[in-house]
Each structure stands twice: as structure tokens, then as C-alpha cells.
């Protein structure tokens, strides 16, 4: 029924464009027959609306992977660069949350580990909305920042790295089944800034999936039960992602080539000094408005990255 509802919605959207195109054609014919130049602005405005709608629907045809329509779980982890990297991880996490809010997606913070002096060591959120995973799946990888460090007394230029991970939200009934005997549950006290913020009870949870050795830790919620539920949701999504990677590796092996996903594989550069530029290394797309990008204006980057992968990747549903 869900698949049928989705097909009906897609058909309705294209039918609406088809009807708008037919109306526009009639309007244009009428203007030509009556030699009415006053209709030119109206025709141009309606044409631009139809064109934008067609471009949007055409782009969504690229989001046809098995999990593309689902909500996304996005995790950002600080890499090399010390305090600057932790600050960069927080900036990057904020960028994605701002983008999600501007796109009409719900944002639920699942976990956040504060940095030593500033920023975060890691942060994770669930972005709830149709095609959230499809739009963001190309963001996984290492993101590099070059700027004058606000944490350096000499105000020197520093390079920082952060790792972005994007997971599709798992359907626990359809995608994967976890045997309770395959997990180990550890509880511990949640960390904090000290004082009243330090938990006196063991509410933080660490779940280890023994067959794959995947580990998920969550300490953001107030109760152990809540943290366990969030950790299990994340574990389900990680297992789905692991299966997707296994299939992708098998396809690469059949093609005679295999490229391992490594932390040092840089996907995008953000330069704030000595000039401003954000450049995607895969699509080649770049913009000089780095501040707008960091405020969540990343639609053009997302579309360029996804478009550059057309013909190079195989749908996960295969």
C-alpha cells in the first residue's frame, strides 16, 4: 500500500506538469493568434514555473535507490586537528541541521559528545522527511576545513578534518533481524561538563553487535531505557549500511576493481582563508559563498554530487 501510494503521488505530480504544459501551450497559441504582446510576461513566468517543476521532478528520478525515500541518520565525528577539528565537527553538524530545517525535515538529536574545550567530538541526528537519505547519501566521507584558527593565540592558519556518516533509517521488521543473543549491553555513567551536569546513575548505554563487532554508544537521553532504544535504532541502521557496503564491494569485485572506503578519502574542501571557497572533489562544483554553505545552503552541492554519480553507481535495490 505504501508503494502504491508513492506511485500515485509520483503520477499525480507528472500529470500536473503535463496539464500545466498543455495550458501553457494553449496560452502561447492564443497570444500568437491574437498578436497580443501583453501576455508575454505571464507566459514567461508560467514557463519558468513549469521548467523548475520539471527539473525538480527529473532530479528526484535519480533518488531511486532502495532506501532513498527514508529518513536519514547523520553522524559527524571530529578527525585530525585537535580542538579546531572538534569545533569544525560542530560547525558541520550545524550546517546539516540548518539545511534539514530549511528543507522542512524534522531534526531529532540522537547523541552528542562535547569536545574538550569547544565543539563536539561526535554528534548524531535523525532527519525525518521523504528522501532525506537520498539527498544526503553522497555526503559520507571526510570534509576538510582551512581557516585562521580562533583557538591559536598566534592566529595561524589551521587545517581540520571531520568524518560524515549517513545511514538510512532501518525498518526493523523488513530490513534486518537482530538476535538478542548476538548483542552485549554495557551501561556506564554519562559524561558531562562537571558539577550538576554529571550523571550519578548509569544511564549511558553501549551496545556491541558480536557477529560484526559494531559498537554503538548513546548517552544523550535521561534514562537508560531511552538510550537503549536509540542505540538499537542506530544499530539497525548501521547493519543495513553494512549490508549495502557488502553488496557494493561485491559489485566492484565483479568489475575487477575495488577501492576501500578510507577515512583519508576527502570529498569536499571548505576554505575560509586566504580566500573563501567550497569545492566538491567528486563533482567539481564550487562556490565562493562559503558562509552561506555553512548556514545550510547546500542544495546545489547535494545535487551536483548526486548528479556526478549517475552512471557510476548501481542502485542498492539491485
Q: pLDDT of 105-144, one tens digit each? A: 999 999 999 998 899 999 999 999 888 999 999 899 999 9
194's CB contacts (< 8 A; 6+ apart) are none
The residue to which cell 535521561 is assigned = 222
User: C-alpha grid cell for residue 216?
Assistant: 554503538
Name the most confidently modeled range: 80-89, 169-178, 219-228.
Answer: 80-89
Contact assessment for residue 166 and residue 87, using Cβ atoms and an 8 Å cutoff: no
CA distances from 209 to 24, 61, 172, 226 (A): 58, 35, 15, 19
Three-state DSSP state, 91: helix
Is residue 317's pLDDT more than 80? no
For residue 198, the model assigns a pLDDT of 44
Percentage of residues in the chain with pLDDT exceeding 90?
Answer: 45
pLDDT tens readout for residues 214-262: 999 998 887 889 999 999 999 999 999 888 888 777 655 544 444 343 4
pLDDT tens readout for residues 259-301: 343 455 689 999 998 899 999 998 999 999 999 999 999 999 9
Percentage of residues in the chain with pLDDT exceeding 70?
Answer: 87
Spell out the SS3 assignment of 274-311. CCCEEEECCCCCEECCHHHHHCCCCHHHHHHHHHHCCC
Residues in the chain: 318
For residue 127, the model assigns a pLDDT of 96
Alpha-carbon span 71 to 126, nearest angstrom: 7
For residue 18, the model assigns a pLDDT of 92
Alpha-carbon span 217 to 113, nearest angstrom: 10
Lowest mean pLDDT among 36-45, 73-82, 204-213: 36-45
Amino acid at each position: 500500500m505504501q508503494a502504491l501510494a508513492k506511485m500515485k503521488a509520483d503520477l499525480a505530480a507528472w500529470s500536473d506538469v503535463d496539464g500545466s504544459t498543455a495550458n501553457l501551450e494553449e496560452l502561447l497559441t492564443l497570444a500568437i493568434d491574437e498578436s497580443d504582446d501583453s501576455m508575454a510576461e505571464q507566459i514567461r513566468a508560467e514557463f519558468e514555473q513549469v521548467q523548475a517543476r520539471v527539473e525538480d521532478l527529473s532530479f528526484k528520478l535519480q533518488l531511486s535507490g532502495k532506501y532513498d525515500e527514508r529518513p536519514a541518520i547523520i553522524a559527524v565525528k571530529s578527525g585530525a586537528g585537535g580542538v579546531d577539528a572538534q569545533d569544525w565537527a560542530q560547525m558541520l553538524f550545524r550546517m546539516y541541521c540548518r539545511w534539514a530545517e530549511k528543507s522542512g525535515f524534522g531534526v531529532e538529536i540522537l547523541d552528542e559528545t562535547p569536545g574538550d574545550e569547544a565543539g563536539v567530538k561526535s554528534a548524531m541526528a535523525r532527519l525525518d522527511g521523504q528522501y532525506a537519505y537520498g539527498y544526503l547519501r553522497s555526503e559520507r566521507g571526510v570534509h576538510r576545513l582551512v581557516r585562521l584558527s580562533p583557538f591559536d593565540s598566534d592566529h595561524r592558519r589551521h587545517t581540520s578534518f571531520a568524518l560524515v556518516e549517513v545511514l538510512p533509517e532501518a525498518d526493523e521488521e523488513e530490513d534486518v533481524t537482530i538476535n538478542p543473543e548476538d548483542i552485549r549491553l554495557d551501561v556506564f555513567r554519562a559524561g558531562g561538563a562537571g558539577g550538576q551536569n554529571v550523571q550519578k546513575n548509569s544511564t549511558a548505554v553501549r551496545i556491541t553487535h558480536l557477529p560484526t563487532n559494531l559498537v554503538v554508544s548513546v548517552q544523550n537521553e535521561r534514562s537508560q531505557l531511552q538510550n537503549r532504544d536509540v542505540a538499537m535504532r542506530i544499530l539497525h541502521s548501521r547493519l543495513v549500511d553494512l549490508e549495502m557496503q557488502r553488496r557494493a564491494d561485491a559489485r566492484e569485485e565483479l568489475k575487477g576493481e575495488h577501492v576501500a572506503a578510507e577515512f583519508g578519502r576527502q570529498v569536499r574542501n571548505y576554505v575560509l582563508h586566504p580566500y573563501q571557497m567550497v569545492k566538491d572533489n567528486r563533482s567539481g562544483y564550487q562556490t565562493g559563498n562559503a558562509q552561506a554553505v555553512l548556514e545550510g545552503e547546500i542544495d546545489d552541492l547535494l545535487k551536483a554530487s548526486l548528479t556526478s554519480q549517475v552512471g557510476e553507481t548501481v542502485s542498492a535495490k539491485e
